[in-house]
Amino acid sequence: MDDALLANRELWDAWTKIHVGSAFYDLASFRNGERAIRLADYELDEIGNVEGKSLLHLQCHFGLDTLSWARLGATVTGVDFSPEGIATATALAAELHIPATFVEANLYDLPNELDGQFDVVYTSRGVLGWLADIVGWATTVAHFVKPAGFFYVTEIHPVAQVFENEGVTAGELRLSYPYWSHPAPLRFEVHGSYADPTAPTEGLVEHGWDHSLGEIVSALIDAGLRIDFLHEFDFVEWPVDFLVESPDGRWRLPAGTPGQLPLFFSLKATKPLAGA
C-alpha cells in the first residue's frame, strides 16, 4: 500500500472507533431491532428481493449495511481494508447471530484474496472518493459479478463534489474541486467525522480522488457490464455545508435556489450471459 492508502486506512480505523458510538450510526437501534434494516428506501426498491441470493458488499465499513442485507435473506460477504472495521463487523455478526463473512482487503487486491462470483455486488454512500483508479475499481467489480447477476452502487454525485464544503453557507456554490479523475490525491486535514464533527481526530489526514459520472459509467461498460439504469437524486445522504437538512433527514439545496443540481445517484448494471 502506498502512503496515501496507509493514511486513509489509519483514518478509517480511527473513524470506526468513533462511529460505533455515534448517533449517526445508532448501533443500539440496529442491535435491538428498532432499526434492523439500515438501508435506503430507493435501494431496497431498486435492488429488490435478495432472499437466497449471494451478495458481495465492497467497502462495507463496520458492516451495518451488509448485516441488513443478511437480515433480508442474502448470503453476505463484506470487504473493507480497515482492520478495525472488519473486526467490529465480525464481532457484531457473531453477537447478533447473523451469518456473514467479512474479509479485510484493499479493494484492488480482492481478486487475489477472495474466490467466487456473486448474484449481487453492492457498494454505497461514500465509497468512490477513496479510490485512485476508477478503471481498476470497475474491473474488480465486474470480476465478482456472476453472469446474469448485477452490480449496484449508490453514491454522492460527482457534480456535488466540485463545490467547497467547509466554511461556506447554505446555498453558496463555490466551485473548488476537480470533476474529472486526477492522478495525485487531494489531501485534507481531518476535523472530526461526518458522523460526529466534534470527535477528536488530531493528526489524521484524508486523501481523496474524484471521478466524473462519465468515467464511472464508461469504466463499468468497458469492464463488460450493461447499464440498466442511472438515477440522479436532488439530495445527499449526509450533512453538507452548502445544503440544508430536509424534514426527511436528507440534505438539499435551500428552498428558493434558482436552478437544480444532481447531488446523489444510483446505478444498476448487469453482467450479460456469455454469448448474449
Size of the site for ligand SAM (CB under 6 A): 17
124 binds ligand SAM (CB under 6 A): yes
25 — phi, psi (to 5°)?
-90, -20
Place of cell 474491473: 139
Binding segment for ligand SAM (CB under 6 A), chosen from 126-134, 166-174, 180-188, 263-271, is: 126-134
How large is the C-alpha radius of gyration of the chain?
Answer: 18
**According to CB under 6 A, which one of 18, 54, 80, 141 is a site residue for ligand SAM?**
80
- Specify the stretch interacting with ligand SAM by CB under 6 A; choose among 79-87, 140-148, 256-264, 266-274: 79-87
- Is residue 223 within the footprint of ligand SAM (CB under 6 A)? no
Q: Nearest residue to ligand SAM, using CB?
A: 126
From 125-133, 162-170, 174-182, 260-268, give the range in contact with ligand SAM by CB under 6 A. Answer: 125-133
Decide if residue 127 touches ligand SAM (CB under 6 A). Answer: yes
Which residues of this chain interact with ligand SAM, rule CB under 6 A?
8, 12, 59, 61, 64-65, 80-82, 85, 106-107, 124-127, 130
